[in-house]
Structure 1
Amino acid sequence: MTEDAPAPDQATGAPHPRETKQLFGQVAAEQEFLAAFNSERLHHGWLLTGPRGTGKATLAWRIAKFLLATPPRDDDGLFGAPPPVHTLDIDPDHPVSHRILAGAEPGLAAITRTVNEQGRLRSEIVVDDIRKLSRFFGMTSADGGRRVVIVDSADEMNVSAANALLKMLEEPPARTTLLLISHQPSRLLPTIRSRCRTLRLKPLSPEDMRLALTQAGAEMPDQADHLAALAEGSVGNAVRLINLGGLEIYAELTRILESLPRLDRQRALALAEAAAQRGAKEQFELLLNLIDVALSRLALTGATGASPIPEAAPNEAEILVRLSGTPQQARKWAEVAATVTARMRHGQAVNLDPTALVLDTVFKIQETAGQNR
C-alpha cells in the first residue's frame, strides 16, 4: 500500500473519521447511545449500520473518544452520581482527544484490513487481526479504565475472524465496548448481530450533506440537487462523485438514454473509451455503478408513475418518463438491470476489455428500449 493511499477505513479525498470534527444528520443515533449510557445499562457490543458514507465511522470514533474521556458512572464520588450527559462532544484539548488524533490512545484498538507479507492490502480482515486484541486487552487490563474496539468494517471479516470476534462478544472483557461498523449487516453471522445492539444511521438531507462536504474540504458543485440525487444521502458517495467527475459521467449517460431507441453510437463509444483509458480504473467502476443507478431510476419511474426527485442530470425526468412510463415497462427495466449488473460484474471479474463491456451493456439497454416502445 502506497504512503499516499487512504487508510482502509478512510474515504478517498476525505479526512480520516478520527479527524472529523462534527457529525451531521445523526442526532437520533447519538441520542439513542447516550440514553443507554445514562441508564447505566451500556451494552458491550454495538452494531453501527446504514448506507455507506453516512457517518458510521465518524460516530464510532466519537463514541470511542466520549467513553475514554468520560468517567464511568459507577464512580459516583463524594456527591453521588453525575448528572445525565447530553452530548458526545469532547473538548479537543482533552488529553484523550490529543492521543486519539496522534494514534496513541492506549485504551483504543482499531481493527481494519492489514497488509500481507508482500506489502499489499488484504481484501478481508483475517483472524490474526482479531487475535491481536488479546494482547491489547492484556496490556490495558491493569489500569481498570475503559477499553474500546472499533472494527471497520465488520463486513470484511473472513469466517475465522468473525468466529474469533464472536467469542469476545460472548465473553467480553470488563469495561470494554466493541463498535462494529457494518454496511451490509446481513453478511454478518446471525450470532454476532444478536449479541450487539444496533444503531441505524440514516441518509443525510441535502443541507446536512452540504455541511458535511464543507467540513470534508470538498467544494459543492453548482448542480447541488443533482449531486444529492446521485449520492443518495451519502457523503462518501458525494466526495467520490466530485473527485471522479461523476456528475459529468451521469449527464453523458443520460444523453445516451435520450437518444434511445436509435442510440447515439458515437457518444456511447466516446463514453466507453473514456472509461477504458489507462489509469481510469476508478472512473470505469464509477460508470458501472452509475449505469446501475440509471436503470434503477428507470424502473422506479415506471413503477411509481413519476420520475425520482430531484433530478440527477439535466432533463432526466422527461427522459425517464418517456422510456419508462408504465408498470410493464418498469418490469422490463428491472429485469434488464439484474441481467446487466450480473454481466458487468462478471466481465469486470474476468478482466474483459472495458470498452467492449460498456458497449455491450449499452446495446442491451438499447434493445430493451426498443422492446418498450
Structure 2
Amino acid sequence: MSDDALPESDRIDGAPHPRETTRIFGQDAAQAGFLEAFNADRLHHGWLLTGPKGVGKATLAWKIAQFLLATPKDDGGGLFGDAPQITETLDIDPEHPVARRIQAGSEPGLFSVKRPYDEKTKKLKSQITVDEVRKLKNFFALSAADGGRRVVIVDSADEMNVSAANALLKLLEEPPADTTILLISHQPSRLLPTIRSRCRELRLSALNSDDMATALTQADVGTEQSAAMAELSAGSVGEAIRLSQSDGMRIYADIVNLFSELPQLNRPRALALADSVVGRGAEERYDLLLNLIDLFLIRIARTGATGQPPIVEAAPGETQLLVRLSPTPHKTRAWAEVAAEITSRSRHGKSVNLDPAALVLDTVWKIQQTAQG
C-alpha cells in the first residue's frame, strides 16, 4: 500500500483533512486569542488547543501552522521604529508557496505527530508511540539550515503513551529556537500536568446551529437532516460527519422506534438490533450504537430534569417518547442512574470482549426494567 493510500488517524472518513479545510467556523475567540499574542510579540512556544471532539481544533492548528510558516519572523516590525503592523486574520492566500506545499504534504517547516500505521496488523496503532516523537529530532536537524519558523502539530496529545508524553515534555521544557508546538487535546485532564503548565491554552467551544450548518456544507455532508444531526452531535462537526458517514441518524431512529412502546418491548426488533452489530466490519456500528443509546438515555434524563424536551426532535416520535418516559423527578433520577450504569457496563463489556449482541441485549433489557419501574 502506497503512503498516499494509508489511513490517517487525524482524518475523518468522508471528510476533508484539516489541512484541506479552507475555513473554520464558530471559533473567532480562539483565533483572536492567538493573533493577540502574535501581534504583541508574546508568541508562546507551546499551545494547547482544547474543546470537544470535532469542533475545529485540528483545522485551527493547521491554519495557525500555515500562517506562521508564511509570515516572516521580522514581519511585525517597521523601519525607523515604526509601529508594528497589526495582523487581523490567520488567512493566507491559497496560492502562497507555503499553502501549496502544505496541501501537497511537502512543507519542510512542518511536522505532524499522530498515531502511525502498523504494517503488521494493517491498522492504525491505538497510541502515539515514543518513536513518533523521536522523529522530531531529525526534523529539527534537517530544518535548522532553513533558518525560518518550525511548527509541530500533535493530533491528538491524548493518544500519546507515557513514553511519548515524557519525550514531548522534554521538548516543551527546552524547545528548539523558532519552534511552535501545537497540541490538540479533547480531554486535557488526561495529559501530564507538566505538559499543560508549559502550554498556553486556546479553548474551542461547540458550534451553534448556524455555524454547524455552514461547516457541514463546506464538508459536503449537508443533508435535509442537518438540524437533527447537529442536535445529536452536540455542536461537533466531526461527530456530525461520523453520523452521516455511518448511517447514524437511521440507527438513532431505530433506537427510538424500538423503545417507542416501553414498558412493552418488541423482542424481534431488539434481536434484530443486536444482530446488526455482529460480524466482520461491524465494529464501528457497534461503537456508534452504544454511544447513541447513551445519548438517548441522557436526553430522557435531561427532559425530565428541565421539564422540557429538546428543541429539535432527532427522530420521528422522539419528543413524545422522552416526555412520557420521564414524567417525574423520581423517574428522572432513575434514568440518570441507569445511564451511568449502562455506560460503565458498556465500557467493561468492550474491554473484556463480551459478545456484542449479548451486551446490546443486556442493555436493552436494563432499559426496559427501568421503564417498568
Instruction: Look up the match of 2:24.
Output: 23
SS in 2 for 1:275: coil
Instruction: Look up the match of 2:318.
Output: 316
Instruction: Look up the match of 2:158.
Output: 155
In structure 1, stretches of 5+ residues that fail to align are none
TM-score w.r.t. the length of structure 1 is 0.95
Task: Measure the CA separation in 2 of the matches of 1:320 and 1:188.
Answer: 37
Task: Measure the CA separation in 2 of the matches of 1:320 and 1:25.
Answer: 30
What is the CA-CA distance between 1:73 and the residue it aligns to?
4.1
Instruction: Look up the match of 2:277.
Output: 275
SS in 2 for 1:258: coil
SS in 1 for 2:153: strand
Question: Which structure 2 residues correspond to residues 1-373 of structure 1 after superposition, within 5 A?
Answer: 4=5, 6-73=7-74, 76=77, 78=79, 80-116=82-118, 118=120, 119-218=122-221, 220-371=222-373
Query: Deviations 1:219-276 (Å, cap 9, x if unpaired)?
Result: x232332111111111111111111111111111112222110112122222222232
Query: Deviations 1:189-213 (Å, cap 9, x if unpaired)?
Result: 0111111111111111222112111
Contact 1:303–1:327 (CA<8 Å) still a contact in 2? Answer: yes
Task: Measure the CA separation in 2 of the matches of 1:74 and 1:15.
Answer: 31
In structure 2, stretches of 5+ residues that fail to align are none
Q: What number of residue pairs does the alignment pair up?
A: 370
Sequence identity, in percent?
63
Task: Measure the CA separation in 1 of the matches of 2:47 and 2:26.
Answer: 19
After superposing the two structures, state which structure 1 stretch, 4-13 or 296-305, moved more: 4-13
SS in 1 for 2:61: helix
What is the CA-CA distance between 1:135 and the residue it aligns to?
1.6
User: Structure 2 vs 1, CA of residues 140 and 263 (structure 1 numbering), >3 Å: closer, same or farther?
Assistant: same
After superposing the two structures, state which structure 1 stretch, 22-31 or 116-125, moved more: 116-125
What is the CA-CA distance between 1:362 and the residue it aligns to?
0.3
Task: Measure the CA separation in 2 of the matches of 1:94 and 1:74.
Answer: 16
Q: Structure 2 counterpart of 1:31, which letter?
A: A
Query: Deviations 1:121-143 (Å, cap 9, x if unpaired)?
Result: 21111111111112211222233
Q: Structure 1 counterpart of 2:143, which letter?
A: T
Contact 2:149–2:179 (CA<8 Å) still a contact in 1? Answer: yes
SS in 2 for 1:25: coil
Task: Measure the CA separation in 2 of the matches of 1:341 and 1:303.
Answer: 19
Task: Measure the CA separation in 1 of the matches of 2:5 and 2:360.
Answer: 30
What is the CA-CA distance between 1:75 and the residue it aligns to?
6.4
Contact 1:73–1:82 (CA<8 Å) still a contact in 2? Answer: no
Contact 1:40–1:73 (CA<8 Å) still a contact in 2? Answer: no
SS in 2 for 1:259: coil
Contact 1:340–1:361 (CA<8 Å) still a contact in 2? Answer: yes
Contact 1:74–1:81 (CA<8 Å) still a contact in 2? Answer: no
Query: Deviations 1:277-325 (Å, cap 9, x if unpaired)?
Result: 5422211211111001011111111222222222211221221111112
Task: Measure the CA separation in 2 of the matches of 1:338 and 1:75.
Answer: 52
Q: CA RMSD in A?
A: 1.7
